[in-house]
Structure 1
Amino acid sequence: MRTGRGGRSRARSLITFLGVSVLSGALAAGFAVPFAGFAGRGSAEVAETVQTLPKELVVDPVAVRSRILAADGSLIATLYEQNRVPVPLSSISPIMRKAIVAIEDSRFYEHGALDLKGTLRAMLRNQTEGEVQQGGSSITQQYVKMSLVEKAKTAAERADATAVTYQRKLTELRYAVAIEDQLSKDEILERYLNLANFGDGTYGVQAAAQHYFRTTADKLTLPQAALLAGLVKNPTGYDPTNDPVRSKARRDVVIKRMLELGVITVHQANQALRTPVINPAAVEPVPNGCANSRYPFYCDYVVSKLLANPALGATVKDRDHYLKTGGLLIRTSIDPRMQAAAQASIDQHSKTTDTAIAAITVVQPGTGLVKAMVQSKPYGNGRNHTNYNYNVEKSYAGGFGGFQNGSTMKAFTIAAALSRGIPMDYRINSPEQIDLRNKKFRTCTGYTRDPTYQPKNSTHSGDLTMVEAARFSTNTYFLQLSQRTGLCPIARIAAKLGMYNAQTGGPLDQVASMTLGVGYVTPLMLSNAYATFAARGKYCAPLVVTSVRDKSGRPVPGPGINCKQAIPRQVADGVNRVLSAVMMPGGTGGHLRFGTRDMGGKTGTIQQNLAVWFAGYTPNLAAAAVVADASLPYTNLMFGHDLNGQDIADPTGSGTAGPLWETAMQGAVHGLPVVRFVAPPRKMIGDPNPKPPPDNGKKPKPKPKPNR
């Protein structure tokens, strides 16, 4: 009788299988007997290979996705290398366990590490069907293989873990024997179902149940379980989101195998076979990374802070890997309600197509918690999108590095003057223009001069008190005041309140024009500095990550709320009194005042209108808004720039940045308790109804106090 090509192929497969069976029997017995030739290799070579194999498989913890949460517990982002949520076997439905055992290793609970009978039956059936219908390796062997692939760190290690060689098979078998000695069958099955790749970026049965069916592993039905069980053999080829026809065919094979084994009834099988494989509309995507977050810029900033935490790893690479595989639960400071209020302000006052950009950061005084962070350009690489975060320093991922801050710097000059005993009623004759060419300004290291400096006022001039000069933002008053205080006290107070050059990380420049603005400052830095005034001089480092817990629920060390008394309370109270005048009728921020809350603020417009600011606060919330040209070379906002789709007719902190601040703050403070500023000492206020000094050509001299 002649044998056809198919018959000869099956015969060769059977002979090969018998050889493997002899070898496998020896393996299961502990490798105590010599081997006959295997695949053309001598027994001595095979025996030597076996004796050098490790006897115990060290399994690395499975990669588990991490989650970043907002302050209210809502999800901001998911970070993962493998989308996986491990669950105990008790949280996996019995029908799912039966389905995977039926199709992959029906005698799993009856045999040891290797099922010779089941493997022979699977080989003969697969040969008959012409394709793989049933698994040949035991579930334990498969678990070993998946674990070795998971452990692989390089392409070469991954290739070794999947190589079609007898050495690899021997390694798997020996490890499988060890695993069977160490773990119960249920423990092996639990690990297997949590480790397996279920296609479309899902790993483990819980993530797969959520992704394909929007359910959990303990609620999987028969057709759902059969689909997932069928995916393990070829997660890409049977992926129902790519090929639902092939996926259904594979699912139906699983259902029929379960019927064949008596796991389910004919009625159950028929119902399951008639069930659609998936509902494409119900497939739940699991976005990965900050680019897919609802707050992508804030998320990037959070991740930057996490990557700087040595508790997450020795190197940035280690920390990044741990972030994506460690199953961390990361809680952050962002308040979705306040974030929505700030975003609503951006949406109301700007468009993504504007040539100018707008950005706002909101901070909680007394804690440093960053409650909101928004900007007008959306995240991405497309037209009118950006990957720059205009709210943070350049040292962080995507950080733009700030802008010059204009007259918002005057707040620090006020603090320096009050610290040195200069009262609020201190008058300085402040003409429209002042000649400061080569005038000396004391710095921390000596003096500085500007040979050409002749600054002007853009607002009110005259013989003014500190309060009046702040209300009108009179440049020539504050320049002369900074001469009297010296630039060093201004620089030191600003530094204590977290102000530094956002481009270089160095200190702010001590130049003649320092009180009118320095570069470069971010909305985050400025809002947090002003929050220090609101907190009566208590500076708190900006904080976005409030807690991190590992997958076991243990806390991971990291920076927490970090506060210190940066300036005396009474000095901060005085600054609040002066900056409150800005928000009164006639002040540059008077039209931005809302409600009856106490509030202080300051406008900022830098030279040539390249950027405009408004920073302000109540006792329980502070915010800074900026509108700027963010494209090199920077140009005047008044020419060729638009905001909210219209030409910028009033490129000032009051007229352009102010409305952004007002709308954001009004929404953010809604529902918060009304808190009042503390009144400063009477001596600091001075004469409540000061009279102009006599015109004798001499300026009154304050009685300076040592800077404490």
Structure 2
Amino acid sequence: MLLFLLVSTLSGALVAGLALPLAGLAGVTTQTVHNTVQFLPQDLAIPASQQKTVIQAADGSLIATLYKENRTEVSLKAINPIMLKAIVAIEDDRFYEHGAIDAKGTLRALLRNQTAGGVSQGGSSITQQYVKLSLVAKAKTPEERAAATADTYERKIAELRYAIAVEQKVSKDEILHRYLNLAFFGGRSYGVEAAARHYFGVPASKLTLPQAALLAGLVKNPVGYDPTDAPKKAKDRRDTVLMRMRDLGIITAKQSAAAMKTPVIDPRKIQVVPNGCANSKYPFYCDYVVAKLKENPVFGRSKEDRENYIQTAGLTIRTSLDPKMQAAAQSSIDKHSKPTDQAVAAITVVEPNTGLVKAMAQSKPYGFKKNQTAYNYNVEKSYPGGFGGFQNGSTMKAFTIAAAIQKGVPLNYRINSPQTLDLSGQDFKTCTGVTSAPDYTPKNSTKTVPDPSMIDAARASTNTYFLQLSQQVGLCPIATLAARMGMRDAQTEKPLLQVPSMTLGSAGLITPMMLSSAYATFAARGVFCNPQVVTAVASVRGKSIATPGRSCKPVMTPQVADGVNYVLHEVMEPGGTGSKLKFGRSDLAGKTGTVNENKAVWFAGYSSKYAAASVVADATPPATNLMNQTFNGRKLGHEVSGSGTAGPIWETAMRGILAGLPSSRFVQPDEKTIRGNVKDLPMVKGMTPEQATAALQALGFKVAVSDTLVDSDAVSGTVAYTSPRTEDGALPGALVTLWLSNGSKAPPPTPPVTPGIPTIPIPPPTKPTGPGRPTCPPWDPKFPKCNGR
């Protein structure tokens, strides 16, 4: 038999020669073996080995490692030669002398297997082992994996046939190189590089003799000889390898004895490579990155294909996350909230002009235990773990401001804005028609002047002003602009609802990422960028892989954005709802937001460099009032607000983010933006409602008459003033409200003239001068020289 095997090996027909003895020994029919050989392809299509993928922050630091097999391929030169000698000594000491198989070893295995009545000893050469590992790696289904590891002679014959083909095309060194990169060494470590780093904290190039001997010994039984679980068995196996190397003359007896005296392993140097986003320092951000990668068809046709590719292709994924900004955001969250709170807090930071998401933090840590969550409160529901947002309250008013300026409304546009406003049944124009609310009497949550300008109303967040402004501008321009800035319902992905209360933030559920990206558009002077977290992807060989890059486009003119920045900048000036949040020398702008019944409170703000949106909300359905819920370890009361509850999170985070950066300024709005593009209103003061209505309708305006009488010097029952004011003008076709006088300030009737008594002329009033004289409203387009200027 030995002679037959040797002759067969030399003739290159070993498989055919093995057919007869194998069939006889194992009871396998000659026909079965013949078929196995006849239909077996000679070339082994070896797939690329699975390698771990790494996700990095913008500075190159590690965010997470993804893998099915923790493997990092290295070149043969990157493996210490002592490792090569150790693995050859214990697994196949005649590797460089024989062909595809070691005839002596195979014969020995056959005889022992026959005695045992089955396959009890492999006798496989390193080439055969490599083939087996390749077939296992190639298997895609459980059935294929079972076939690749089955204890049958048919499987053995297939391996031999493949081994012959491999040795005909690949050098011995290359086979050894591939084998060491493919083999499993236990501890979730595939390949010698991963194993060296796992057990010893060194690369394969730095392995010592005892370390190499330990790894070489692990290949036979990675679990049974695992030094972390069975140190004695591992030492015995290592020493066996060392003795074998000594017997073969690879090392001296002195070297062997010295190596045997070394500890098998130093537990302090063991490095465990965490797998997946759950083990990341930034798990929520990491999950979002992976979700975005799975959307990219370049990684596969289906999400399953993409997921497999991402976990096995050895990619290097660079992201936009800035660890310093992330630390500032998380530090702010930790300062102002606690994981044990009933309410949750979240914040996202975005860079204007790029859309790069620089930070994403929240109060509940990742996990499934008490006071942990798998929900990401910063992103949409369409992403794994995405919570799906909250109503965004008055932060929505920024879009009304933008749409109004875009339509030519001046920044000093005044509308009479009572504390309570009856809008029941009143029409609001939408993109498809009109809408109304049957019983709608909204009120202001703050006090303001009765006749505020747009700036006044923004500073005080006057609900009744912005409701009327949105009615005059129309809901369609607001909705269209918001959609272009990435605003949509975070639960359904549908457009925001065009309802009368849209400007108050009840048109859908919004995420901090959406809102920060939208506000970054104002900071970028009208350029909206889709949020971006993946900035580059490289293959295992360092070749760049095409991924969606920056996606930015102008959605409003720079002049409109400048106007919005001016108005929202005033929110943070003394007297504004965000004044307590102002810091530093850079221009800042922002807007508070409080949802109906205080179910969520917001602050969204920005400089020209970074934008952020923070939210504090009840995330336990059905959401209830934040009052009496715990936040930052105490119960919230009536003080809950966008500026006082969510605002400090934004401020502390932005302080840390902007620290050390040069101060920045917004571009001042031009004269046209300031003054707007309104149509003149006729002077109707003192007219009857019928006369005033006719005059206004003749110019294309809609007219409404208020039921409330106001103090005025006009005759009772006549027009006291209009809203908007005559001197401010109004948008073409806008609704003009007539406010009628109660006559309280009307001059007394002229006394009758008594014949014979001379009348004393009353001198005209003089213009006030000096510091106490009245001042004009800013940027008055109709009376540029009022008060004598």
Which TM bucket (shorter chain)?
Answer: over 0.9
Q: For 2:499 and 2:86, how far apart are their aligned partners in 1? A: 75
Match in the other structure for 2:411: 424
After superposition, the C-alpha distances for 1:419-459 in whole angstroms (9 at most, x for unaligned) are 11111101111111111111111111111111111011111
| Distance in 2 (alpha carbons) for counterparts of 1:260 and 1:239 | 25
Q: Deviations over 1:602-644 (max 9, x none)?
A: 00000000000000000000000000000011110002x1111
CA–CA distance in 2 between the matches of 1:428 and 1:448? 21
Deviation at 1:21, TM superposition (A): 4.7
Structure 1 residues 679-700: Cα deviation after superposition (integer angstroms, max 9, x where no partner): 101232249xxxxx98633123
Aligned residues of 1:422 and 1:702 also touching (Cα < 8 A): no
1:549-698 aligned within 5 A: 549-639=538-628, 641-649=629-637, 650-686=639-675, 696-698=720-722
Kept in 1, the 8 Å contact 2:16–2:37? The answer is: no
Greater mean deviation of Cα atoms: 40-49 or 296-305: 40-49
1:91 aligns with 2:115: no
1:637/1:648 contact within 8 Å kept: yes
Residue 355 of structure 1 aligns to a residue in which SS? coil
For 1:450 and 1:160, the matched residues in 2 are separated by 69
Change (3 A) 1:705 1:176: farther
- CA distance in 2 between partners of 1:45 and 1:686 (Å): 93
Residue equivalent to 2:740: none
Structure 1 position 521 matched with structure 2 position 510? yes
Matched residue, 2:699: none
* Counterpart in the other structure of 1:8: none
1:493 and 2:517 are equivalent in the alignment: no
In structure 2, the CA distance between the partners of 1:24 and 1:652, relative to structure 1 (3 Å rule), is: farther
Question: Structure 1 residues 254 and 20 mapped into 2: Cα distance closer, same or farther (>3 Å)?
Answer: farther
CA–CA distance in structure 1, aligned partners of residues 387 and 642 of structure 2: 20
Counterpart-to-counterpart distance in 2, 1:291 and 1:601: 34
User: CA distance change for structure 1 residues 698 and 48 in 2, over 3 Å: closer, same or farther?
Assistant: closer
Structure possessing the higher radius of gyration over alpha carbons? 2
Among 341, 346, 368, the alignment partner of 2:328 is: 341
Alpha-carbon distance in 2 for matches of 1:655, 1:175: 72
Q: Distance in 1 between matches of 2:503 and 2:35?
A: 81
Alignment length (residue pairs): 681
Unaligned runs of 5+ in 2: 677-682, 686-711, 713-719, 734-789
| 1:66-97 deviation per Cα after TM superposition (whole angstroms, max 9, x unaligned) | 01000000000000000000001110000000
Cα distance per residue 1:372-415 (max 9 Å; x no partner): 00000000111111010000001111100000000000000000
2 CA distance for matches of 1:252 and 1:101? 15
In 2, the alpha carbon distance for the partners of 1:433 and 1:182 equals: 87
**Residue 113 of structure 1 contacts residue 177 of structure 1 at CA under 8 Å; is this kept in 2?**
yes
Letter in 1 for 2:284: F
Following the alignment from structure 2 to structure 1, what is the Cα–Cα distance between the partners of residues 502 and 39?
73
> How far apart are the structure 1 equivalents of 2:297 and 2:349?
27
The verdict on how the C-alpha distance between 1:703 and 1:432 changes in structure 2, with shifts beyond 3 A counting, is: closer
Deviation at 1:117, TM superposition (A): 2.5
The amino acid of 1:29's aligned partner reads: A
1:399 lines up with 2:423 in the alignment: no
The residue number in structure 2 matching 1:535 is 524
User: Is the 8 Å Cα contact of residues 104 and 136 (structure 1) preserved in structure 2?
Assistant: no
Aligned mate of 2:13, from 29, 34, 38:
29
- Cα shift readout 1:278-330 (whole Å, capped 9, x = no counterpart): 11122111000100011000000000000000011011010000000001110
Partner of 2:453: 465
Question: Per-residue displacement from partner, 1:459-494 (whole Å, max 9, x unpaired)?
Answer: 123111110110111111111111110111110111
Question: In the aligned structure 2, how far is the partner of 1:27 from the partner of 1:241?
Answer: 47
1:204 positional shift: 0.3
The letter of the residue matching 2:493 is: G
How much has 1:551 moved relative to structure 2? 1.1
For residue 77 of structure 1, give the secondary structure of its aligned residue in structure 2. Answer: strand
Instruction: Specify the SS of the correspondent of 2:271.
Output: coil
The equivalent of 2:777 in structure 1 is none
The structure whose RCO (Cα within 8 Å, separation 6+) is larger is 1
Q: What is the CA–CA distance in structure 1 between the aligned matches of 2:196 and 2:8, rounded to whole Å?
A: 36
CA contact (8 A) 1:407 1:606 kept: yes
1:38-187 to 2 correspondence within 5 Å?
A: 38-119=25-106, 136-187=123-174
**Cα distance in 1 for residues equivalent to 2:4 and 2:563:** 88
Q: Which amino acid aligns with 1:263?
A: I
Cα distance between partner residues in 1 of 2:122 and 2:257: 24
Contact 2:603 2:650 in 1 (8 A): yes
State the SS of the aligned residue for 1:463: coil
Give, in whole Å, the separation in 1 of the partners of 2:474 and 2:34.
86
RMSD: 2.3
Q: Which residue type is aligned with residue 93 of structure 1?
A: N
Describe how 1:431-470 pairs up with structure 2 within 5 A.
431-461=418-448, 462-470=450-458
- Aligned identity (percent) is 62
How far apart in 1 are the matches of 2:57 and 2:599?
34
Could you tell which deviates more after superposition, 328-337 or 36-45? 36-45
C-alpha distance in structure 2 between counterparts of 1:524 and 1:45, whole Å: 64
Q: TM-score, normalised by structure 2?
A: 0.83
3-state SS in 1 of match to 2:416:
strand
Distance 2:541 2:407 in 1: 54
| Equivalent position amino acid for 2:599 in 1 | L
Q: Corresponding residue for 1:13?
A: none
- Contact 2:377–2:387 under 8 Å retained in 1: yes
Task: For 1:492, give the aligned amino acid.
Answer: T
Aligned 8 A contact 2:572 2:582 in 1: yes
Cα distance 1:305–1:65, how it changes in 2: closer, same or farther (>3 A)?
same
C-alpha displacement at 1:648, in angstroms? 1.4
Q: CA–CA distance in 2 between the matches of 1:138 and 1:393?
A: 54
C-alpha contact 1:87 1:206 (8 A) present in aligned 2: yes
Gaps of 5+ in 1: 1-16, 688-692
The Cα shift of 1:18 comes to 5.9
2:395 aligned to which of 382, 398, 408:
408
Q: Distance in 2 between matches of 1:264 and 1:119?
A: 27
**Residues in 2 aligned to 1:163 and 1:134: alpha-carbon distance in whole angstroms:** 13
Q: 1:44 to 1:590 in 2, by over 3 A?
A: closer
Give the match's secondary structure for 2:334: helix
What secondary structure, in the 3-state scheme, does the structure 2 residue paired with 1:666 have? Answer: helix
Normalising by structure 1, report the TM-score. Answer: 0.93
1:369-408 correspondence runs (5 A): 369-408=356-395
1:535-573, Cα deviation, whole Å (9 max, x unpaired): 000001100000111112222222101111111100000
Once the two structures are superposed, what CA deviation does each residue of 1:5-53 show, in whole Å capped at 9, x if it has no partner?
Answer: xxxxxxxxxxxx9699579748843556573534233444433432222
Report the equivalent of 1:544: 533
1:336-382 residue CA offsets vs partner (Å, 9 max, x unmatched):
00000000001100110000000000000000000000000000111
Q: Matches of 1:273 and 1:133 in 2, distance apart?
A: 30
Distance 1:168 1:475, change over 3 A: same
